[in-house]
Structure 1
C-alpha cells in the first residue's frame, strides 16, 4: 500500500487523492491519538489560500470534533505561524492545510506536534495504521468538540517576527513576491513595520492563482522588476510562506544555499552559530566547500526540512536548511520560515553595508542542472530497489570523484524521480544528466511511463 505521508505531510489533488472523507478521518484519528485520560486535545487549524482549503479544513475540524477534540481556527496564516503558535497557545498539535509550492489543484495536510516540530515518522505511522480501523472513539452529546475562532493568530505571529529582526530595515526599498499565498496576508505589515519600503507583488489571491507564474519556484518577474526599478533586492515566498529565495539588486537569484552561506558566516563571526550547519543531500557542493573554507561544520541529511530539523536537534545545531529556501533558525522558530529568512538577510545587508550581490559572492556554487523523470509510486519502489540502478549510480560517483556528483531520489511530494548533476566543468552536465535520465527511465519503464520532462 502506498504510504499516506510523504516528506512533508500528506499531499495530493484536492477532491481526488485528498478528499473530504480522508481529511475528516485524519482529524478524527489525530484527535483520538492525542486524547489522554479523558482530556480534550486542543488543535490549532489553519489553511493557505487555495480554493479547496476551506473544504478540507472544515472536514479536518469535523473529524477532530467528532472525537471530542477542540479546534482553534486561525483561517489563513503561514505554515510557520502554525508551528510557532501551537507552542505559544499550548495546543496539543497544529494542522496546516496546504500544498506549499505546488499548483492550486493540489492540497495537503501538515501536522505539527505540541513542540511545534513536524511529526516524526513513528507518529505518522501510528496515524496511518489507525486510518484503516473503524471509528471507535466517536463521542456524542456534551463530549463533542467545538470550533473557536482564534482572531489574534495572525497578529501574534507578525509581532513575533518583527521582534526577531536584529535591526530595522529603514532605507531599504525591496520587492516582495507573495506567490498569491499566505504571505499575502502578512508580509506587507511585517516588513513595513520594520521600516522597509515594500513593493508588493502577487499579493491578491483568488483561490486558484497560488504559485502560478510567481513565488519561490518562478522568480523571473521578481528578478526583472527589481532590476528595472533599481531596488535593493527582493524576496519570493511559496504558497504557505515556509520557504524563501531572493534576488539581488541586479535581479540575480540567491537560492537557499547562498542565503545560508551568508547568514551562517555572519552568525559564526558574531558568535551566534552553535555547532555548525545542517543541509541536505541536495545542497550544492559549493556550499560544502564554503563551509570547509570558513571552518563551519556541515552535516547533510535527507531532503525535507523536517529531517533538517531533526538533525539539528540531534546535534544541538541552531541553523540549517535546504537549497529550495526552507531555512530554520532553531533557537527562535521550530520550522522553516520564509519571511523570517528574508528579515535576517535584509537585516544583514543593512548592518553590513554590503549589497546582496556582495554577500552572495562569498560562496561559489558548483554548476548544477536538474531534470525530473515522471514516476508512479510503484516505479519509485523499482528505482529504490533495482540493483542495476544502484550499480550505475555507484559507478558515476567513482568517475566524478571530488569534481562533481549525481543525485537521484524519488520526490516525496510529486510523482517523479528527481535528478541533479553537478560538475566543475559545466559543459559535462547536459550529457551526464541526459545519460542518467535515459538509463533510469529505461529501468523503470516496465511499470509505467518513461517520458522525461525537464524541471
Structure 2
C-alpha cells in the first residue's frame, strides 16, 4: 500500500480487493487514523500535489481521520519528500501524500509515511488493511480529531533543502531554468535556487489542476530543452508532478538522465571523502553507470525496479546513495526518500567543486546504447523461464563478452515481456534485442 493510483471515476486501479473511490478514501482515512490511534493520541500530516481531484480526496481523508480521533495538519500542495521531512519535524505519527507522481491529472493516489519519514512498517499496513474490512464507527464527539493548517510549511521545507549544501554556498553567476511540471514544486523549487544565488527562469509553474505533467516536467523535457537554449542558460532542471524525480538539460540542450546525475553525485562524494559504501541502482540502470563507478572503485549493486527496492537495499547495506534512470535519486545522508530538489542541489555542488559545466562533467560516464522491446503474451505462460529463451539470452550475453547485458522481465501491470539489451554497438544491440524478442514471441505463440 506504499503507492496506489486511481482515477476519479473509481475505475483506474485498486488497493488489494478494494475499488478506489471517494467512499473508499473516507474508509481508508478512518482505518489509518484508527490504526495510528492505537499508539495513543496522534497527529497526521496530509499534503498533496496540484491535480484537481486532490481537493476532493483531501477532504474525505480528513473526515475519515477525524472520525477515528486523529488530529490532522493540512499542508496544501507540497512535494512528496517535503511531507516526509515535515512529518519528522512536527513529530507526527504519520504523513499522507495525495499524488499520482508523474502520471496525468486524471490519475491520483496515496502514499503513507511513518513518523520517521519512511514507509510504514509492514505490521501497521496489515492492521490498516484488516480495519478496511470492519464497519466504520465514529468516536465520541469529544474525541473527534481536530483539523488545522500549517501556513509556513513551504518556508520550512525551503530551508531544509538549502541546508543540504554547506552554509555559505552561493550559485551566483549560474543561470538555470527550472521546470516545475505545474506540480507540487511550483512554489518551493524556484525559491530554493534563487535564495542560493542562482539566476532562475521558471517554466510550467502555473498549475490549474489539469495541466500537471502535461508536456512539461521530467516526463516531457522538450519545452525545457528549448527554453534553456533560448535563455542561453547554463542548465535546466526538470521535476515531476510530486517533486521526487529530477532530470537535467545541459547548455547544449542535451538531456542528462538519472543514471548520469547519480554518477555525478557519487563521484563528487568520493572526491570530497563523504561517500559511505557504494551506490544502488536498479536492473534497468545503464551499464555505463556500473562501469564508470567500477573505474572509480565505487561498489555498485542492482535492486529490482522501484524506489522502495532501492531504499530497502540502501538500508540493508547502510549505504547513502541510490536511484533510478527516471531521476528518482535517494540521498540518505540528507533525506529519507527520493527528493528531486535535494538531488539537484547535490549535482550543482558537484559542478561547483570541479569548476565544470554539466556538459563537461557528464563526460566521465559513457552511456551504453539500450534497446527495449515489449512482447505481448497470453495466458499463464512463463516465457522468461522457457529453455529456448534462456539459451538465447546466454548466447547473446557470451557474444557481448562483458561489454553488454541482457535483461528479460515481465511487466507488473500488463501481459508483456520487456526485452532489454545494452552494449557498446547500438546496431548490434538492436539486432540482439529484435532476435530475442522474436524468440520470446515464438515461445508465446
TM-score (norm 1): 0.88
More displaced 10-residue stretch of structure 1: 236-245 or 12-21: 12-21
Partner of 2:385: 390
Shift of 1:270: 1.0
Equivalent residues in 2 for 1:364-375, closer than 5 Å = 364-371=366-373
1:374 to 1:296, Cα distance in 2 relative to 1, 3 A: same
Partner of 2:109: 108
More displaced 10-residue stretch of structure 1: 344-353 or 329-338: 344-353
Shift of 1:411: 5.1
Unaligned segments of structure 1, at least 5 residues = 446-455
Q: Per the alignment, in what secondary structure is the counterpart of residue 156 of structure 1?
A: helix
Partner of 1:158: 158
Partner of 1:453: none
1:112 to 1:418, Cα distance in 2 relative to 1, 3 A: farther
| Mapped partners of 2:214, 2:285: distance in 1 | 26
1:152-186 alpha-carbon deviations (Å, 9 max, x no partner): 21111111111222321111001011111011111
Partner of 2:331: 329
1:41 to 1:245, Cα distance in 2 relative to 1, 3 A: same
Partner of 2:218: 216
Match of 2:198 among 196, 199, 204: 196
Query: In the alignment, does 2:7 pair up with 1:13?
Result: yes
1:143 to 1:267, Cα distance in 2 relative to 1, 3 A: same
| Mapped partners of 1:436, 1:125: distance in 2 | 41
Shift of 1:28: 1.4
More displaced 10-residue stretch of structure 1: 156-165 or 394-403: 394-403
| Mapped partners of 1:393, 1:66: distance in 2 | 55
1:358 to 1:122, Cα distance in 2 relative to 1, 3 A: farther
| Mapped partners of 2:220, 2:122: distance in 1 | 31
Query: In the alignment, does 2:389 pair up with 1:400?
Result: no
Partner of 2:140: 140
Counterpart contact for 1:168–1:347, Cα < 8 Å: no
Counterpart contact for 1:244–1:339, Cα < 8 Å: yes
1:442 to 1:27, Cα distance in 2 relative to 1, 3 A: farther
1:61 to 1:251, Cα distance in 2 relative to 1, 3 A: same
1:241 to 1:258, Cα distance in 2 relative to 1, 3 A: same
| Mapped partners of 1:30, 1:314: distance in 2 | 27
Partner of 1:81: 82
Counterpart contact for 1:188–1:198, Cα < 8 Å: yes
Partner of 1:350: 352
Q: How many residues align?
A: 430
| Mapped partners of 1:364, 1:65: distance in 2 | 53
More displaced 10-residue stretch of structure 1: 411-420 or 283-292: 411-420
More displaced 10-residue stretch of structure 1: 172-181 or 223-232: 223-232
